[in-house]
Chain A
Amino acid sequence: MRHVISILMENEAGALSRVAGLFSARGYNIESLTVAPTDDATLSRLTLVTRGSEEIVEQIVKQLNKLIDVVKVMDLAQYSHIEREMMLVKVGVDKSAACEAVKRLSDIFRGNIVDVSDKTYTIELTGERSKLDAFVNALKEYRIIEVVRSGSMGIARGEASLHV
């Protein structure tokens, strides 16, 4: 099963490689990983998406907790939660017909065109992973030049939270 795991860790050099190294050393899979400091600059929040049986994910959570730099871990699969990913797509719009169609698609998916040149549109889109997939699919007819995805971030709904 797919699990979104949120990790709060000390914002210290090397902390990220401890997490990444743990996954490669123990043969766990990483589907995506995203990390940035939180409102408290001494802490980083990392969201990691992995797949595995319940036993494997239980081990992953335990092994993560065992890392000295890791302050707290939350397996969002245990909670009702919101998951979001952000994407930037650069599309070739050499023909004027493409301009229109790409703009329309972007609107339908509630994307924002954040950069325009003679030959390209760059669209920003945020949403669930499946929505981003669908958008990329819909753009296949046109000339996709570049896709950048942030990887998933997640947060639990309601009172549940991950904090120190």
Chain B
Amino acid sequence: MELTGAEIFVECLKEEGVDTIFGYPGGAVLFLYDELYKQQDNINHILVRHEQGAVHAAEGYAKATNKPGVALVTSGPGATNAVTGIADAYMDSVPLVVFTGQVPRHLIGNDAFQEVDIVGITRPCVKHNFLVTDVNELAMTIKKAFYIASTGRPGPVLVDIPKDITTARCEFHYPAEITMRSYNPTVKGNKRQVRRAIDLMLESKRPILYTGGGVVLSGAAHQLTELTKELGFPITNTLMGLGGYPSMDKQFVGMLGMHGTYEANNAMHHSDLVIAIGSRFDDRVTGNIEKFCPYAKIIHVDIDPASISKNVKVDVPIVGDVKSVILDMLEELRARTERPDAAALADWWKQIAEWQGMDCLKYNQDMNAAIKAQFVVEKLWEATNGDAYITSDVGQHQMWAAQYYKFSQPNRWINSGGLGTMGFGLPAAMGVQMAFPEETVACITGDGSIQMCIQELATCLQYHMPIKVISLNNGYLGMVRQWQEFFYQKRYAMSYMEALPDFVKLAEAYGHVGMRIDKPGDVEGALKEALAMKDRLVFMDFITERENNVFPMIPAGAGQNEMILV
């Protein structure tokens, strides 16, 4: 049967099992919206209030489910508004398919109304993109888009659809399978390399596992735990890898990197074997690359060959999917008679225990002074039994969330790491809440960040998303202020959030519940009260200590063992 492009679009989404999409209409996508209207029983479309919100929401959905998130926006300004979210997804390897409307084919290149070359604009920040030039290719293009977005190293794929394609007709046929001669990600790791890796693990005296977002993306948390237990090695997670290993476990030494723990960073620095799994040696992790892990051999498991030996020269590269490679490692390890060097490991753990003795995340909440952000996060963790979905914005509050919310499961910690996009938190929480309507979703945010996508409070009302917004309000662009305090002699250039709105009234104006909490003694009770409101969005404005700093901190140019502790 012949279908229109718009009908094909919706059929393809159904074929891909898409249940929810996030978007915003406009001229170029009117036929698509008309079709979505007719098929609203099949596909739930969430109307955001800004296209950036649509893409972040799709990211939140994807990060929580490991399924591709889908966004739909119109041409021109709709498409350019989506770019920040697309770049964010690219940096954090989030599987996303973004559909943009485009002017009709005969007008392309004419500076037509609401025309932008979105394929050109997004080329450097997508995994791939397409301009559909023939309705006969629409279904295949959408198939490819989902396939590319969700396989290999995941990432955003953009499909630009000219308006006249949405009315053109053709026979609809959705390909069940797809192969592309130019795209064949390697899943299975090389056996010989796996054996070499195990050799090194068995010889090592001071090993450490350094695992990242790739573990979460691969759905390999369970296998990672098994491997870590089998080896008895200490393990650290990147910001993106949190939840990939249970934080309360005794082998876990905390996050590493710029705001990582004293024990994690020192263990990295002094180790003789770094086993990197699905982590990419980001500069926030390595500190000064010249001083990085001077005594260590490095094993690196990554599905993207370009991640390997990009920043740090690797001794044993293993290209493959984390889950598959870990399973091979376990098999290899269990086939050996040798075991890791128990005596050496005992010494290593003793050394680590000494570093842990610094208690680097200790803080003191004076119950008569201002609320500490750390205290709020810790109480939130307790009140949610460590089991909530937590999204975050970008800044100090993000680091405190990462340090003090002890994640025990993957896909629960949803933040913007690579691009560090303020404004991510609230729309991402919407995506998570749509994926898991019954679960507790909290967005930890700052007084600066929340204002970057605050308009989405209206979306939350429309779709009854009972998100708990945890605003750690310090009246500053705190992360910027901290740098200015340390490195610019306290010249607080533009880091002061003068003229903050009354967030309680603002929340109420949007139809939600607002709460202001300014005493430490009220934190716990307020959290319990808010969490009990299962069907309401509660905006909790915690007035926190103004000039609080995130510690530990590795200053720019320093090595991992050169942390500022207080």
Interface residues of A (CB under 8 A from B): 9-10, 13-14, 17-18, 21-22, 25, 55, 58-59, 62-63, 65-66, 68-71, 164
Contact = CB atoms under 8 A, between A and B. Distances in A.
Interface of B: 119-120, 123-124, 127-128, 131, 133, 148, 180-183, 304-306, 309-310, 313
Contact of B309 (A25, A58, A164): A58
Contacts of A59: 306, 310
Contact of B182 (A9, A14, A17): A9
Contacts of A22: 124
- Majority SS at the chain A contact face: helix
23 contacts: A10-B182, A14-B119, A14-B123, A17-B120, A21-B123, A21-B124, A55-B309, A58-B309, A59-B306, A62-B306, A63-B306, A65-B305, A65-B306, A66-B305, A66-B306, A68-B127, A68-B128, A68-B180, A68-B182, A69-B128, A69-B182, A70-B182, A71-B181
Nearest to B152: A66
Given A14-B123, A17-B120, A25-B124, 20 more contacts: A9-B182, A10-B182, A14-B119, A17-B123, A18-B123, A21-B124, A55-B309, A55-B313, A59-B306, A59-B310, A62-B305, A62-B306, A63-B306, A66-B306, A68-B127, A68-B180, A69-B128, A70-B182, A71-B182, A164-B181
Nearest to B304: A66
Shortest 9 CB-CB contacts between residues of A and residues of B: A62-B306, A68-B128, A71-B182, A25-B124, A62-B305, A68-B183, A66-B306, A21-B123, A63-B306
Contacts, number: 39
A63 B119 CA distance: 19
Contacts of B119: 14
A42 B70 CA distance: 30
A149 B154 CA distance: 41
A82 B566 CA distance: 62
Contacts of A58: 309
A13 to B, nearest CB: 7
A14 B181 contact: no
B441 to A, nearest CB: 34
A59 B304 CA distance: 12
A9 B128 CA distance: 14
Nearest to B185: A66
B496 to A, nearest CB: 35
Contacts of A9: 182
Contacts of B127: 68
A22 B310 CA distance: 15
A71 B148 CA distance: 15
B463 to A, nearest CB: 34
Given A10-B182, A13-B131, A14-B131, A68 B148 contact: yes
Contacts of A71: 181-182
B300 to A, nearest CB: 13
Contacts of A17: 120, 123
Nearest to A59: B310
